[in-house]
Amino acid sequence: MSLNFLEWDCPSCGKHNREDTNTWCYGTPIRHCRHCDGEYLDRRWREVAVEGFDPRSTNSSLYLKGCIGFALFAAVMALWIVWSIRTKGYYMMLNAFCVGLGVLASIACFVLWIRIRTGAEAKNQAPYMEESMQRMQDPAYVQKLISYGYQVPDTFRK
């Protein structure tokens, strides 16, 4: 089971649905209810051939700034611990937890920065673009998107 999922109540029958998803919700925005098989548009999903990839998944500078920011946060918390020990003789575990959290977040941002800079993230996203392009070649699918009010560029309209 995936760690990422979306939950919603069906607009037709009102019953609760839960569906596994990829991190950025890449896929068809046309969803089906598991209970009544009702069909509707869910704008949380991205048709990447139309909308492109989420900017957060391609912006390496965002993660570099996050890496630096979390590292600075961890350093400030570490300095606070040192100050507390020197002036009071003790420190709060919350401060130590914040140091650890800052270090882990900084490492995570650094890994994502490297993945984007090396092209590993783009390679990971390529299958989503291929699937999306295949869906967009189907005139019936494109027409269904248009009928739901989805903005489809002229390049996909036939």
Instruction: For residue 11, tell me if it sits in a domain.
Output: yes
Number of domains the chain contains: 2
Domain range for 75: 59-120
The pLDDT value given to residue 2? 54
Q: Are residues 38 and 1 in the same domain?
A: yes
The pLDDT value given to residue 1? 46
Regions of the chain short of the pLDDT cut 70: 1-2
Global model pTM greater than 0.85 = no
49 in Cβ contact with 151 (< 8 Å): no
Instruction: For residue 116, tell me if it sits in a domain.
Output: yes
The pLDDT value given to residue 22? 86
How far, rounded to the nearest angstrom, does the alpha carbon of residue 144 sit from its chain's CA centroid? 26
Residue where the block lists tokens 């912006």: 59
pLDDT digits (tens, 9 = 90+) for 42-71: 999 999 999 999 999 999 999 999 999 999
Instruction: For residue 145, tell me if it sits in a domain.
Output: no
Instruction: For residue 54, tell me if it sits in a domain.
Output: no
Beta strands at 16-20 and 30-32: parallel, antiparallel or unpaired = unpaired
Q: Are residues 70 and 29 in the same domain?
A: no
Q: Are residues 29 and 9 in the same domain?
A: yes
Instruction: For residue 20, tell me if it sits in a domain.
Output: yes
